[in-house]
A and B are shown apart, each in its own frame.
Chain A
Amino acid sequence: MPHPVTAARGYRAPWLFASASLLTSLAVNAQQPAAPPAAAPTPPPPPAWQQGKGADMADSKLAPHAGKNTETPASEIPIEKLKVPKGFKVEIWSTGTPGGRAMARGDKGKIYVGTRGIGRVYEITDKGSERESRVVVDKLVQPAGVAFQDGALYVMAINKVLRFDGIEDNAGVEPVDLTDKFNLPPQQHHNWKYITFGPDKKLYVPFGAPCNICEPPEEYAQIRRYNPDGSGMEVIVRGVRNSLGFDWHPKTGEFWFVDQGRDWLGDKGPQEELNRLTKPGKEFFGYPWCHAEGIADPEIKKADPCKGVTRPVALLGPHASALGTRFYTGSMFPADYKNSLFIARKGSWNRNQKFGYDVVNVRIGADGKTAKVTPFLTGFLDEKANAFWGRPAYVLPMPDGAMLVSDEQLGAIYRVSYAGPAKKKS
């Protein structure tokens, strides 16, 4: 069984210099748990989220926030605190799906929702005045990835790929296990997924760097695409730390993706990135040497670290946890929202003053190359108290033009709609 510490295997991280001796002592520990190490113990590698933490931050109390694994009833959700631009409305659409984050819509309208720690995938059925949910599959290792194509639900956990054929009509369908076809690498950190099918009907899958900052092995820090059955794998993006949101520009067809910046370089950044891919498989986006607007990494160094690196189109803020990324093509919102981008920022943990906890709208310039970021759905964060109550993780534009927003913290989904400018009479 792989020990979590073997995350160190085969790549160079600042905290690891003698991987061979480390692995040897690990093996001894695994076989003889009762035997104390013979030599002085090697300093323990820090947990993945602490890697790269500088000596000046040794006493920092910053750590990832606790998730919530229990159901939150609608009566305990302070929806009145949420703010949207004039003419828009936000309401609670469904509750009772703890940990729910990425959403995929079935051909017949059912919504499938992935999770991380709680190990479940939910199915939500819209009954008109209310929503019903059930657990499709559970006990998986962070099944965050859900996608739907040709009547089938695809679920991707860190170590498993399942396909549920015809699930909208046949709730009890046994999944087809596609795991072997996808050749998933073993490391868990940053390898929970966001998955979606592209206009080419291929499945797009990210493989994050298994650390905060390190030179990752060949199979990580990239985005790949596969045929739906797991064949025909191609790496289309390289040099990304952890991309968990992407979509295709409705006009240009280009692939746009977010990438989360590294931790422990302070409250200023490096900021998270919004990137545009123009030459699939041929571009490099900088990780681990070059971040954001061209910041050389202070720990993982090389000459000319930013040379040949494709720079981001826009910066999305420091430690903001940019996740769900979708272009809006509906007709309900005002016309200037057409073909704009919505990005959910789940919110920071590695920052003393919390940041993000909102959904932003990104307007793309006429040339399709520049972007302007504006807050759209806010109110999850109380900046004065430096406290949050909800964490918007993913967005899902619906056929009627409204948009669903998942709140991973409260296991709820909100619906944002546009009612037009306020009428003078009422």
Chain B
Amino acid sequence: MKASGRRAWLAALLLLAGPALGQQPVPYDERLKSCAACHGADGNSQTAGVPSIAGQPKVFLENHLVLTREGMRGSAVMQEQVRGLSDKEIIAISAHFTALPARSMPGKSDQGLVERGRQLAGKLRCGICHLQDFRGQQQVPGLAGQREEYLVSTMIAFRDNPPPGVDTQMSAALYGVSDADINAMAHFLSRFRAAAK
């Protein structure tokens, strides 16, 4: 998690040296390029520590971007990226990435771990809010095909150190769940393919 965080910082610094430095409002196309630089041109991230955003529910993306802009959520890198975005731009960016298909890009699967993750996710009833195929809905993010290490670090953060502005539901849902169990669920979810919309 630490190393991937550093890489994300580097990526952000590279971006900051680009168009984001100017005083002029950044054109929409440039904004999308900024998103793509870390999250992938099609919204499926190939950068460790950076989540895939393709196919995420629109309300989730909007809420997350607004609360990040307000400084109440998200990483310092993302806060810098969304500074000054208007609501209109946030709605447009969210609509763009919602419409893109999510692609699962797993590495090698450990079938034992996948099975354990499947059972745990069932036991913890993740599918009630995230839906049975884990595609997410409304304000609830999709989990299917998300990057494994991002799922791990996010679940651990929810469990141990939820920042202000984050809904407490996930913290309660992950209370008392061990790192090993979180790893298994992340392994399973990152390899899960949601049904096509």
Contacts and interface: CB of A to CB of B under 8 A. Distances in A.
Interface stretch (A65-73, A200-208, A412-420): A65-73
User: What class of interface size applies to chain A in its complex with B?
Assistant: 35 or more
B172 A119 contact: no
Contacts, number: 93
A118 B87 contact: no
A353 interface: no
Contact of B70 (A34, A65, A66, A138): A138
A424 interface: no
A3 B156 CA distance: 13
Interface in B132-177: 138-139, 156, 159-162, 164-165, 168-169, 171-177
A400 interface: no
Nearest to B176: A41
B180 interface: yes
B67 A48 contact: no
A33 B179 CA distance: 9
A4 B171 contact: yes
B173 A44 contact: yes
Nearest to B86: A71
Contacts of B88: 71
Contacts of A66: 59, 63, 138-139
A118 B70 contact: yes
Contact of B176 (A25, A98, A138, A189): A25
Majority-rule SS of B interface residues: helix
Contacts of A61: 128
Contact of A30 (B66, B160, B168, B174): B160
B106 interface: no
B77 interface: no
Nearest to B168: A4
Interface string B63-80: 100110011100000000
Majority-rule SS of A interface residues: loop
A198 interface: no
A5 B175 contact: yes
A139 B72 contact: yes
A188 interface: yes
B162 to A, nearest CB: 6
- A3, A34, A36, A70 — most chain B CB neighbours (10 Å): A70
Contacts of B71: 139
Contact of B66 (A29, A34, A70): A70
Given A4-B168, A68-B62, A98-B87, A119 B70 contact: yes
B168 A188 contact: yes
A264 B176 CA distance: 25
Contacts of A59: 128
B36 interface: no
Interface in B115-136: 124-125, 128-129
A44 B176 contact: yes
B4 interface: no
Nearest to A36: B178
Contact of B160 (A25, A33, A118, A119): A33
Given A44-B177, A66-B138, A4 B164 contact: no
Contacts of A138: 70
Given A4-B168, A29-B160, A69-B62, A119 B72 contact: yes
Interface string B8-51: 00000000000000000000000000000000000000000000
Given A66-B138, A69-B62, A139-B72, A47 B169 contact: yes
Given A59-B128, A69-B67, A33 B156 contact: yes
B90 interface: yes
Interface in A18-48: 25, 29-30, 33-34, 36-37, 41-48
A252 to B, nearest CB: 41
A34 B175 CA distance: 14
A14 to B, nearest CB: 15
Nearest to B131: A61
A29 B159 contact: yes
A49 interface: yes
A117 interface: yes
B66 A37 contact: no
Given A4-B171, A5-B171, A36-B178, A69 B66 contact: yes
Nearest to B166: A4
Interface of A: 1, 3-5, 25, 29-30, 33-34, 36-37, 41-49, 58-61, 63, 65-71, 98, 117-120, 138-139, 141, 188-189
26 contacts: A4-B162, A4-B171, A5-B171, A5-B175, A29-B159, A29-B160, A37-B176, A37-B178, A44-B174, A44-B177, A45-B175, A47-B169, A60-B128, A66-B59, A68-B62, A69-B67, A70-B62, A70-B66, A70-B90, A98-B87, A117-B63, A118-B67, A119-B72, A139-B70, A141-B164, A189-B168
Interface of B: 59, 62-63, 66-67, 70-72, 87-88, 90-91, 124-125, 128-129, 138-139, 156, 159-162, 164-165, 168-169, 171-180
Given A4-B168, A139-B71, 9 more contacts: A4-B162, A34-B179, A37-B176, A42-B175, A44-B173, A67-B63, A70-B62, A139-B70, A139-B72
